[in-house]
A and B are shown apart, each in its own frame.
Chain A
Amino acid sequence: MGFFIAQFLTGLANASALFMVASGLSLIFGVTRIVNFAHGSFYMLGAYVGYTTMQMLPGMVGFWAAILLTGVIVGLIGVIVEICVLRPVYRAPELFQLVATFGVILVIQDLTLMTWGAEDLMGPRAPGLTGIIRIMGEPVPKYDLALVAITPFVALALWFLITKTRVGVLVRAATQDREMVGALGVNQSWLFTGVFFLGCAMAGLGGALQLPKGGADLLMDFTILTSIFVVVVIGGMGSLPGAYLAAVLVSVLGVFGVTYIPQSTLVLIFVIMVLVLMIRPYGLFGRPEVAGEHGQVGEPERPIKPAGPRARMIVAAGLAVLALMPVYGSSFAMVLTTDILIFCLFAASLHFMLGLGGMVSFGHAAFYGGGAYAAALLVTYAGTPMELALLLAPLGAGLLAVIIGWVCLRLTGVYFAMLTLAFSQLLWSLAFQWSDVTRGDDGLVNIWPSAWASSTMVFFYLTLVICVGGIVFLRHAAHSPFGYALRAARDSTRQAEATGIHTKRVQWAAFALAGAMAGLAGGLFVFSKGSVFPNELEIVRSFDALIVVFLGGVKTLSGGVVGGAALEGVKDVLTRFEYWRLALGVLIIVVVILAPDGLVGTARKLAEKWGLMRAPEDGK
């Protein structure tokens, strides 16, 4: 019994930081309709800033003052981000906002690395709360008890602020109808900034409060991101009680899970999440999302036509140049091109569902990594030959996409994005935790191509044929009735349904096809590297593809492929610098704000302006 209570209290204590970060995210979303993907970064900043302020302010009073001060500092950093990055994109489609906040993640990561260095920091212990208390014979840290006691007060204070004060009335009014609040003479932009300050301050507080328990490290941002997504999805976006309840649920389950089923803690939490979504799609306390709220950026998407003879000639010439690479290129160039080709197929598969279907997936790595692991596991445990493994990899990933898609497509918009991310994290944690099968962090190694394809040149040609074939297939599918139906479902679900198109089923099929193609890319990747590690399933991998599609141009057919080639090429140069994330992050933010049409879209516009390409008859 004592053990049970002690476990429960630990769970409650863990819920503390989680609640604060999640409620901040929820608050920001409620008012600004932006899912702040950088919220985990503010939590991380809270931990680092808290570490520094605690060193400057000693003693018991100093400790708590340092935590409050940290909240204010992180909140102010949030204000800077809001003004510089988010204000220009409030009216943009959600994808732009998500990508912009991802740029912020990269920038904050490198700025933190610059300021505090790469080593993990041990958090100072809270003065006066260093010992333990025995409850029915079981030890419970005093600091945990303090957290358990504090959190409800923070929650109450927030609740009071939101429900009982004038500011709270404005915030709630803005949550329901921003334009009306603006029409009533409230300065919306400062209201948004204020809410962003509060939300980031909450994240900072959370980061500082957990210092004595967990310290500070550079991976904190992504680690907490998944948890807070799970929390807001379970609790319901924009609901404080929901955030608290879900934080407690997730943390307590986590603690008990570690004790009783250590191998599947994460799986357990995801199962709970899926169950909640089955019964209440918008979370325990959430309201249905109003769809179609986001505006347009740039010109509307144009009709598509299959490439004409001239474009086909150019592509054929480009392919010929690629195919002749063994003649003039080094073997390093061939390896690099192999990487780029695989990545292009991966990006093209995401582009298919995102660009044509409007389904913004933040977890596409689940299928890339899924295909890679499918192939690697087959080779390792069943001795499957490469040829068969390359066939089964897309099948496995496609099957996975059928299952994951079935759950995720119950929701749309930001919820869909968060769910896909959560699922890819689930797979990552499976690959990471289930080390009996996947060998965890050590990865699966010694997975080489069949003898005939083992030379760099032959494998290069194999990759070239498969990737180009895959990309051409996806491109053709875009022009087929199926691709048109996918666009129809995106453009006007109402009209599509009213003319007999089962839009969910079309999207589901597209999700599965995109997953299978990503799996094919993953399968090729395994054989090109000879190994696979859990990081092929990481958030970063999903974001890579997303950003590539975005940089290339969402509204253009070749955006994915062009972006993929450009970014993989640039990355090869960029990663030689120490702070490449900073540069990439800034680049992403600049593109989001200044060139929302992406590389292909911008190039097309310029070409039309200079008369190199014919402008559409009634384009502006």
Chain B
Amino acid sequence: MSIVLETRGLSKSFGAIKAVQDVSFALQKGELLAMIGPNGAGKSTCFNMLMGQLKPSAGTVWLNGTNLSGHGPRQIWRMGVGRTFQITGTYASMTVAENVQMALISHNGRVFSILPYAHRLYRDQALDLLGLVGMADQADRHCAVLAYGDLKRLELAIALAHEPSLLLMDEPTAGMAPRERVALMKLTADIVRDRGVSVLFTEHDMDVVFAHAHRVMVLNRGQLIANGSVDEIRNDPRVQEVYLGGGTLFNPAEEGQHA
């Protein structure tokens, strides 16, 4: 198996606060990797560095053997990374299909063309993508009236538009009903299997993580404390400590060090 994404010693400090410290991991092709950890563990900081929104204080990110340092979100997208947001970002004034067509237009470098009608461009491709996420029947609906779960699926279709080799999903099921969560992650798992995409996602819902992730990384206080299969993580005492009490927050000696 080949490595799609790899970080080496990734770190980020905000002043004296070390948000992420020395995080190294690799993501294989076709893998569904979960990054979990309590609030403030550094998950979002990690994601923002991977997407180029934040510049790492130290360390490097490699995508298919290319160093991503110094690249912004737009270039990283062009190198084949798709992303979905924790809070959905869609174009409310367009139809569902047009939302996907916009990403296809950008992928084909036609953002500045002024002659053709945009709503006719790449419509078939957009419909295929919508079919993939089960939204084809809603293709011509107004995006502003969609249910939240549908917006999440639409966002997934947008993220898949340029056939990315890597998909970054920041809390993909946040704000969804339990049944919708399972459905969306099942959909994601299917896409990983059928299209050979690799996925890195953060998640708070352990049911979702343990049901679908191939491998799990646990982040706590900016450090990677565990990295392994679902079963390994489930039985890791340190992870249990972080999640099930006896947590470091209540350890007076530890607390004294940080105060």
Contact = CB atoms under 8 A, between A and B. Distances in A.
Given A497-B73, A499-B161, A617-B141, A491 B105 contact: no
Contact of B105 (A476, A484, A498): A484
B91 interface: yes
A484 B94 contact: yes
A489 B124 CA distance: 24
Given A477-B114, A481-B105, A506-B111, A495 B91 contact: yes
A482 B107 contact: no
Interface string B101-145: 111011100111111111101000000000000000000011111
Given A480-B118, A483-B118, A498 B145 contact: no
Contact of A481 (B94, B118, B141, B158): B118
A479 B119 contact: yes
Q: Which of A302, A303, A306, A618 has the most CB of B within 10 A?
A: A303
Interface in A299-340: 300-306
A555 B126 CA distance: 26
Interface in B42-96: 51, 73-74, 77-78, 83, 85, 89-95
Interface residues of A, number: 36
Contacts of B85: 494-495, 498
B171 interface: no
A302 B94 CA distance: 7
A177 B91 CA distance: 27
A498 B92 contact: no
Contact of B142 (A485, A490, A616): A616
A147 B77 CA distance: 59
Given A485-B111, A499-B77, A492 B119 contact: no
Contacts of B161: 499
B6 interface: no
> Size range of the interface on B?
35 or more
Given A303-B142, A616-B142, A499 B158 contact: yes
Interface string A501-517: 11000100100000000
Nearest to A491: B91
A306 B117 contact: yes
A303 B95 CA distance: 6
Contacts of A300: 92-93, 142, 144
Contacts of B113: 480-482
Contacts of B51: 498
Contacts, number: 121
B98 interface: yes
Interface string A456-483: 0000000000000000000011011111
B74 A497 contact: yes
Q: Which of B90, B101, B102, B155 has the most CB of A within 10 A?
A: B102
A502 B91 contact: no
Given A303-B142, A498-B83, A482 B94 contact: no
Given A481-B105, A498-B83, A303 B111 contact: no
A95 to B, nearest CB: 15
Nearest to A506: B111
Contacts of A496: 91, 102
Contacts of B114: 476-477, 480-483
Contacts of A303: 93-95, 98, 142-143
B219 to A, nearest CB: 23
Given A499-B103, A509-B112, A618 B145 contact: yes
Nearest to B77: A500
A145 B111 CA distance: 60
Given A481-B113, A498-B73, A500-B77, A487 B91 contact: yes
A611 interface: no
Contacts of B106: 485, 499-501
Contacts of A477: 114
A301 B93 CA distance: 5
A618 B74 contact: no
A477 B116 CA distance: 9
Nearest to A484: B118
A305 B93 CA distance: 12
Contacts of A479: 117-119
Interface string B139-154: 0011111000000000
A477 B117 CA distance: 9
Q: Which of B110, B141, B142, B158 has the most CB of A within 10 A?
A: B142
B89 A484 contact: no
A485 B89 contact: no
A497 B51 CA distance: 11
A476 to B, nearest CB: 8
Contacts of A185: none
A479 B89 CA distance: 21
A227 B107 CA distance: 45
A619 interface: yes
Q: Which of B74, B93, B145 has the most CB of A within 10 A?
A: B93
B118 A500 contact: no
A491 B77 contact: no
B143 to A, nearest CB: 8
A491 B94 contact: yes
A303 B98 CA distance: 9
Given A303-B95, A484-B105, A502 B141 contact: no
A488 interface: yes
Nearest to A306: B117
Nearest to B96: A303
B91 A488 contact: yes
Nearest to B103: A499
Contacts of B74: 497, 500-502
A304 B144 CA distance: 13
Contact of B117 (A301, A302, A480, A490): A480
A222 B234 CA distance: 69
Contacts of A500: 74, 77-78, 103, 106-107, 162
Contacts of B107: 499-500
Contacts of B142: 300, 302-303, 616, 618-619
Nearest to A618: B145
Nearest to B87: A494
B141 A618 contact: yes
Q: Which of B74, B77, B113, B162 has the most CB of A within 10 A?
A: B74
A485 B102 contact: yes
A387 B142 CA distance: 45
B237 to A, nearest CB: 38
Contact of B93 (A480, A487, A616, A617): A487
A2 to B, nearest CB: 50
Nearest to B155: A495
A358 B106 CA distance: 20
Contacts of B162: 499-500
A491 B162 CA distance: 21
B250 to A, nearest CB: 30
Contact of B92 (A301, A304, A499): A301
Contact of B121 (A481, A483, A502): A481
Contacts of A617: 141
Contacts of A302: 93, 142
Interface string A284-312: 00000000000000001111111000000
Given A484-B102, A498-B83, A500-B107, A491 B92 contact: yes
Given A303-B142, A476-B114, A480-B117, 4 more contacts: A481-B112, A481-B121, A491-B92, A502-B74
Nearest 4 CB-CB pairings of A with B: A495-B89, A300-B144, A301-B93, A492-B89
14 contacts: A480-B118, A482-B113, A483-B114, A487-B93, A488-B102, A491-B92, A491-B93, A495-B89, A496-B102, A498-B77, A500-B78, A500-B107, A506-B111, A618-B145
Interface of B: 51, 73-74, 77-78, 83, 85, 89-95, 98, 101-103, 105-107, 110-119, 121, 141-145, 155, 158, 161-162
Interface of A: 300-306, 476-477, 479-485, 487-488, 490-492, 494-502, 506, 509, 616-619
